[in-house]
Amino acid sequence: MNNIKSQANEETKVAWNEVARLWDERMGEEGNDFHRYLVWPATERLLTLKDNARVLDVACGTGLTSKRLAAKGAEVLAIDFSQEMIARAKARTTAESGRVEYQVLDATDERALSKLENKTFDAAICAMGLMDMADIKPLMRFLSKVLSPSGHFVFTVMHPCFNSMHVKMTAEFEDREGQFVTEYALKISNYLDSTIRPGLAFAAQTKPHLFFHRPLHVLLKEAFEAGFVLNGMEEPSFPPEYVSKGSSLSWGENFNSFPPVLAGRLQLIKP
């Protein structure tokens, strides 16, 4: 990892350690609406799990997806580079939560990942984590080594086309032939340039963390070079009946023709 990425990665780690308490409070046991309506349903549809499947949960946060995987009968190794996130995940995981092992491990660190190369996984997931990683190449290379011959990797990210730090939600009010109409739209100022920008997961967040925007060809390039093919994809949006709990300029009923999340399944092709 070069110096710029290394510095950005360290800054991101500090921010996520600081935001862990707030994240834990807001996500709880069920997750927010993004996870309940978009992230987990898409992940579940794209995953193919047999009983006792061995699953790696990358950037597991407070263990929300880890416990859901365990409840489906999987044996889960959950990793995150934030010590505070892992501590809160362990606190929320009881004996009844299932078979989950948590480890503090940086998925951008090739040397740290190599400690797990003696393991084999039937599947791996990363729920809304890749856009928080300064470098995804080490993870893709690692997964190509530890996934079983039929193994697959399911990821979800903020949709790089429609939901990034370069997208503004807009509302235009007009008198249209004698009727007052508000039209909601997205204004996109950049897509093709990979960028790093600070942002917030929640309005109450005291310290912004970094978002790593990658257009699709950049996001998938590292996976393709590591021997994966994309063989499943979803672009979930909120259903028409969903009513946003925030302002009219937030994801919900006024923007349900745009997908804020991209979900993909990468299948490992081994000779």
CATH of the domain at 133: 3.40.50.150
Is residue 170 in some structural domain?
A: no
Q: How far apart are CA 42 and CA 34, in angstroms?
A: 11
What digits encode the pLDDT tens for the residues 181-200? 999 999 999 999 999 999 99
Closest C-alpha to 125, from 102, 109, 147:
147
Give residue 210's domain range.
Answer: 3-159+191-244+259-268
What digits encode the pLDDT tens for the residues 247-261? 888 898 899 999 999
What digits encode the pLDDT tens for the residues 86-99? 999 999 987 655 68
Is residue 14 in some structural domain?
A: yes
User: Average pLDDT in the 47-55 region?
Assistant: 92
Q: How far is CA 236 from the centre of its chain?
A: 13
Beta bridge partners of 197: 211
Structural domain count, the chain: 1
Tell me what pLDDT residue 97 has. 59
Is residue 58 in some structural domain?
A: yes
Is residue 182 in some structural domain?
A: no
Give the torsion sign (CA, 32, 33, 38, 43). positive
Is residue 230 in some structural domain?
A: yes
For residue 75, give every residue at least 6 positions away whose Cβ sits within 8 Å of its Cβ, in sequence order, or none: 52, 53, 54, 55, 99
Is residue 122 in some structural domain?
A: yes
Beta bridge partners of 263: 156, 234
Tell me what pLDDT residue 249 has. 84
What is the percentage of the chain residues whose pLDDT exceeds 70?
A: 97
What digits encode the pLDDT tens for the residues 137-176? 999 999 999 999 989 999 999 999 999 999 999 999 998 8
Is residue 184 in some structural domain?
A: no
Is residue 61 in some structural domain?
A: yes
Higher pLDDT, 77 or 150: 77
Q: How far apart are CA 194 and CA 250, in angstroms?
A: 24
